[in-house]
Amino acid sequence: MKPESEKYNKVVNLLRESKPVLVSSDDIEREVMNRLKRVHHSGLYLSEVVDFLFGWVYIGWVRRSLIAASIVLVFVFIYQQSIILKRIDVLSRQAVIIDKENVVTPSVEIERLLTVYKNSGGRFPSKTITISERQIKELMESVNELQIKYKELEELIEGDPELKKLIEKKLIEYNRLRINL
Amino acid sequence: MFFTLLLNKRLNSTIQQSILIDIKLIEECRGGNFNNFRKLVELTTPFAYSVAFRMLGNEEQAKDVVQETMVTIWQKLKKIKTAEVYKTWIYRVVVNKCYDQMRKRKRNPEFIADELTWALIANKVSEGASEALENSETSKIISLLTERLSPKQKAVFVLSDLEGMSNDKISEITGISKSAVKANLYHARKSISERVEKYI
């Protein structure tokens, strides 16, 4: 298919016949020679240095390779960023949960929840009791401390029969009061 | 034995003369003979200007391109393998400089198409003008017809339809394949043809 028409041919012929006329060719020659003299006398061909350093960018296959490499790098960067963002998102969610535990379940609240759990015979849904590692550690320490004190007290009572009798008597009275209540 | 290159030059709008560039002159310049380079500049400038002017459609920019081309020629003349490839090489340098100029111009477009220019083309075409156009007229017409072409299409159109080169030669000068030359030329002609049909 030939796209060019008669009018097109006329216009192109007109342009072909009208060769551009260079009126001031002497000026161009003079300017070129002056520029070259300046370069010639300076001793250092800056453009040659630039060409030597960066001339390789004009090689077709190097340019295409660089373009391909830059596109690959951009995609790798985007992929990496998306993974990082995803991980940050996951981490931030975890941090929120820990924070929530600290804020929502202070030690008083945990005691209350434990009491409820104990009284309900373990039927209390465990998911609703959320405590942090630090709070569990505190709980374990206090339980241990309590056990040691209990043992010491037991030894003390065993070693003193009068004290034992007195305590047994007091306990009976206490239990009786509780039943009465 | 001296070889000669035949270069076309027009001293004025109607008279065409052929210019012979002595291979010896090129070889001497390649050897660093600065004094002989003036002669080479004098012989090369007209056809370098013709290509630059037709690609850019602007006298001042074409002159700048020619100046830069000549400076580049002097700096890189030693790098060409033989003097026989001088003409092709010159065209390649000019075309590349024009690409640079077009890239600069793309950032600062200055030509605005108007009805007067279309009227001018219509007049010239209908008159069947035997006289060649003035530079300013040629500049306007070229700018108007080629403003929508890509730099490659412009180069191929100018070298093929205005400078009368073969596709092989154009491929050698522009560094694009022959099939790409044909495709670019087809699109350039189609685009120009559509504009000519639409406005004239």
Mean pLDDT of the region A128-133: 67
Nearest by Cα to B72 from B53, B97, B102: B97
Our CA-based measurement puts residue B2 at a distance from the nearest CA of chain A, in whole angstroms, of 26
- What is the band of B144 on the pLDDT scale with cuts at 50, 70, 90? confident
Q: Is the pLDDT of residue A158 over 70?
A: yes
H or E stretch covering B115: helix B115-127
Residue count of chain A, please give it.
Answer: 181
What percentage of residues in chain A have a pLDDT greater than 70?
69
Cβ–Cβ of A17/B132 closer than 8 Å? yes
For residue range A31-60, what is the model confidence (pLDDT) as tens digits? 888 887 776 666 556 666 777 788 787 777
Q: Is the pLDDT of residue A119 over 50?
A: yes
Looking at per-residue confidence, does B182 or B6 come out higher?
A: B182
- What is the band of A85 on the pLDDT scale with cuts at 50, 70, 90? very high
Cβ–Cβ of B12/A14 closer than 8 Å? no
Our CA-based measurement puts residue A72 at a distance from the nearest CA of chain B, in whole angstroms, of 26
CB B93 within 8 A of CB B55: no
Q: Is the pLDDT of residue B16 over 90?
A: no
Cβ–Cβ of B63/A24 closer than 8 Å? yes
- pLDDT value of position B8: 40
Residue B129 in contact with partner chain A when CB distance is under 8 A: yes
- pLDDT value of position B185: 93
Residue B53 in contact with partner chain A when CB distance is under 8 A: yes
Residue B119 in contact with partner chain A when CB distance is under 8 A: no
DSSP string across A147-178: HHHHHHHHHHHHH-HHHHHHHHHHHHHHHHHH
**Structure pTM?**
0.57
User: Which of A18, A32, A48 is opposite residue B138, by nearest beta carbon?
Assistant: A18
Best mutation target, A15, A31, A50, to test chain B (most B CBs within 10 A): A15
In three-state secondary structure terms, A55 is helix
Residue A52 in contact with partner chain B when CB distance is under 8 A: no
Distance CA B100, CA B122 (A): 32
Chain A from 6 to 45: CB within 8 A of any B CB? 7-8, 10-12, 14-22, 24-25, 28-29, 31-33, 35-36, 39-40, 45
Residue A48 in contact with partner chain B when CB distance is under 8 A: yes
- What is the band of B10 on the pLDDT scale with cuts at 50, 70, 90? very low
Chain A contact set for B193 (CB, 8 A): 3-5, 7-8
**Average pLDDT score over chain A:** 78
Distance CA B29, CA B38 (A): 9
Residue B145 in contact with partner chain A when CB distance is under 8 A: yes
Nearest by Cα to B132 from B14, B10, B9: B14
Q: Is B127 exposed, middle or buried (0-12, 13-18, 19+ CB in 10 A)?
A: exposed
Cβ–Cβ of A19/B75 closer than 8 Å? no
Cβ–Cβ of A32/B137 closer than 8 Å? no
CB A3 within 8 A of CB B193: yes
Residue B32 gets the label, from left (phi > 0), alpha (psi -120 to 50) or beta, of: left
In three-state secondary structure terms, B18 is strand
Residue A127 in contact with partner chain B when CB distance is under 8 A: no
Best mutation target, A7, A12, A17, A18, to test chain B (most B CBs within 10 A): A18
- What is the band of A3 on the pLDDT scale with cuts at 50, 70, 90? low
